[in-house]
Structure 1
């Protein structure tokens, strides 16, 4: 079963339905805290010297998330750990008051405020829960920054405090957790936007039976992707012919990287259509790539080429000048009228934004947040404030299928998927070209037999493979062998 991801409001509504069946809200709080404490004890045993009981600071805010924190402190204290609670003034919640009183009665020291009196091995964050939707004031920002500067292990309960639960955006700062133990179900903000930077390793604390009303907002793309075994009698015509179209006279690198990625992802044949001045460089790197001069092709030539291939990768290094516009106006209508698998990337998206149309169902668009902002005529800040809403808006406006690239890339086909693989080293020029080439290649080979989210995950796994020796300085032109290993299930992770 795929891992389901929920909107915070769906989780809250699920809780209310449970309480509406005469189940105890405080009982649920205690159950979540108990399970979490048991997971923490196992974690501490694996992280620290055996038999040694760690010093733990539990930081409690003013809502029900703080109630979880108080009870976790109690259960850890009963297990023999050295516990201090640092707390804000209590809020109005009846369950919070009960949890605070129950914890105080155990004899745990509860300190008002967050001036830590000693160094701790572990800092547990129970300051804010999933309901936070406002920017933190200066005082709370200072508290969060104080926790972040401590040397011990950081653990967040439900969600790192300060992180918006659905967008993954800090408000404007958040706890940088090593581990997050999230209650009931996974929240989207733990995996997309900046969420990966703050959440660390995420573990679900299951405490309620799933009811029929609860619906996920997305699914996590599985890390394991199994491609079909090749038949012994296959030949180059069996594995798809990819056309890579772009390559303005001033920009040849993007076409080279996309074409090489298409071959290394398994395409049987690849033809690059670009300015002839790049042909020598392409052949020097990859003599198996076939070439055509983009400036020598008529509309009839383009139609003939389209009739001979299985997928088109369009837009890499195309440019945005008058020449590029003429090429877009020649190629785009013809490939949209075809039944080919079509990947639209980079400058093709630039021109699509100028002249919005409804795309066919075999079109796959791969914008980053800047390109998405132009396609929707809004700001990058608005895209990043709600990436999930943005990708749905892109599909509503243009149809087709979409990948919104970035940390925790989003993939929208019939359902929304979140890619959890990948790393910060992949934020470098050319990575999108590699992805576009892989998409065209794998779609040419398998068509509807492979999901778009699986291709994005394979690209991310190749990036993780390449980053084994370090993220800084990672180069897209070095991805070819990593792509080869990823599609063969042999990444060195």
Structure 2
């Protein structure tokens, strides 16, 4: 089943115009929290994918042991090696608060690892993000953090979870979802039990679900539904069956978390009035970002596979992101003189 045309048209409304009217940063400032000693590729893929999709700035918040490697991958990334095992937690918290105040979205999990100190910093960052009503994307070991304590994310409707098959199974078990629930209904059921958090279940087709009909959806979450405090109670599931590549190599999920993060950053800019008419409810932005990120990432995988075949590596997807964006959403229509860009 193709993605509903109405959903695609709404996604287009939160895409920043390329007409010279926006300043640096008004097309999205993305942060990626992750990157420990053994994991440097994942945060790089997430952060650079956000830039390749069209975000203006991309920051990586990582451990000092990962910083030099990540910096060497690309000069376009801003790297903050503040997650030190030896640092005083209060000092890290102060720096995190300063950093997050400048970002539109925080992507958590790529290369995070499960060391106690990294998990502690991740919980700290998520708490700060919630205080600030930031959009967040949780992937990889940030999902492991959540499965250990669902309360960390419960009821926070500015979040998108992006689990693969194994991660989704673990989250479902933590939430007490019965195996008898039909497969295509489990993502929505997980969303319901988490109080309306958007779930992007990765698979042969991606299922993006939002369900705010559960009791947890009545939790008070500052800023989630706009100034009027409106509470939408509904279930929506979008199946993205866009053709992807046939090679499933490590790192493609990091590309997805980066593209979803970029679109959520655009959503925040839209919410803040940098562009658009503000007609799309804020509570709908996470689902739209998840659908858009899924469509572009799957298309990039297909295009890269057509070029590289069995030898495909995640790096091959990066040059395809801009082209895939145009393929999915149409060529950018530039108003005025192109030279102004």
Name the TM-score class by shorter chain.
0.7 to 0.9
What is the match of residue 307 of structure 2? 469
Q: In the alignment, does 2:251 pair up with 1:430? A: yes
What is the match of residue 236 of structure 2? 415
What is the match of residue 22 of structure 2? 234
What SS does the aligned partner of 1:277 have? helix
Map Cα deviations across residues 337-379 of structure 1 (whole Å, 9 max, x no partner).
222110011101101001112141110000012111111217x
Query: Could you tell me which of 290, 293, 296 is aligned with 1:458?
Result: 296
Q: Which runs of 5 or more residues in structure 2 are unaligned?
A: 211-234, 269-281, 330-341
What SS does the aligned partner of 1:427 have? coil
Q: Greater CA deviation, 264-273 or 294-303?
A: 294-303
Query: Could you tell me which of 103, 106, 113 is aligned with 1:312?
Result: 106
Map Cα deviations across residues 95-146 of structure 1 (whole Å, 9 max, x no partner).
xxxxxxxxxxxxxxxxxxxxxxxxxxxxxxxxxxxxxxxxxxxxxxxxxxxx
> How far has the Cα of 1:222 moved from its partner?
6.1
What is the match of residue 201 of structure 2? 404
> How far has the Cα of 1:256 moved from its partner?
0.7
> How far has the Cα of 1:228 moved from its partner?
5.1
**1:265-414 maps to which residues of 2 (within 5 A)?**
265-293=53-81, 294-295=83-84, 298-357=92-151, 358-377=154-173, 386-399=182-195, 400-413=197-210, 414=235
Residues in 2 aligned to 1:267 and 1:219: alpha-carbon distance in whole angstroms: 24
TM-aligned CA distance change 1:457 to 1:324, over 3 Å: same
Map Cα deviations across residues 420-461 of structure 1 (whole Å, 9 max, x no partner).
113353522111111001111111023456442122111111
What SS does the aligned partner of 1:403 have? strand
Question: Does the Cα contact within 8 Å between 1:221 and 1:418 map onto a contact in 2?
Answer: no
> How far has the Cα of 1:236 moved from its partner?
1.9
**1:175-254 maps to which residues of 2 (within 5 A)?**
226=12, 227=15, 229-254=17-42
Question: Does the Cα contact within 8 Å between 2:35 and 2:61 map onto a contact in 1?
Answer: yes
Map Cα deviations across residues 65-120 of structure 1 (whole Å, 9 max, x no partner).
xxxxxxxxxxxxxxxxxxxxxxxxxxxxxxxxxxxxxxxxxxxxxxxxxxxxxxxx
Map Cα deviations across residues 206-260 of structure 1 (whole Å, 9 max, x no partner).
xxxxxxxxxxxx9997699754531213232211111100112221111111111
> Greater Rg, structure 1 or structure 2?
1
TM-aligned CA distance change 1:277 to 1:271, over 3 Å: same
What is the match of residue 263 of structure 1? 51
Question: Does the Cα contact within 8 Å between 1:220 and 1:418 map onto a contact in 2?
Answer: no
> How far has the Cα of 1:304 moved from its partner?
1.4
Normalised by the length of structure 1, the TM-score is 0.51
What SS does the aligned partner of 1:237 have? coil
> How far has the Cα of 1:467 moved from its partner?
1.5
What is the match of residue 336 of structure 2? none
Higher share in strand: 1
Question: Does the Cα contact within 8 Å between 2:245 and 2:302 map onto a contact in 1?
Answer: no
What SS does the aligned partner of 1:367 have? coil
Q: Which runs of 5 or more residues in structure 1 are unaligned?
A: 5-217
> How far has the Cα of 1:278 moved from its partner?
2.5
**1:32-71 maps to which residues of 2 (within 5 A)?**
none
**Number of residue pairs matched by the alignment:** 276
TM-aligned CA distance change 1:459 to 1:470, over 3 Å: same
Normalised by the length of structure 2, the TM-score is 0.73
Question: Does the Cα contact within 8 Å between 1:221 and 1:457 map onto a contact in 2?
Answer: no
What is the match of residue 337 of structure 2? none
Question: Does the Cα contact within 8 Å between 2:260 and 2:289 map onto a contact in 1?
Answer: no
Residues in 1 aligned to 2:189 and 2:183: alpha-carbon distance in whole angstroms: 10
Question: Does the Cα contact within 8 Å between 2:172 and 2:190 map onto a contact in 1?
Answer: yes
**1:30-109 maps to which residues of 2 (within 5 A)?**
none
> How far has the Cα of 1:471 moved from its partner?
3.8
Question: Does the Cα contact within 8 Å between 1:243 and 1:273 map onto a contact in 2?
Answer: yes
What SS does the aligned partner of 1:472 have? helix
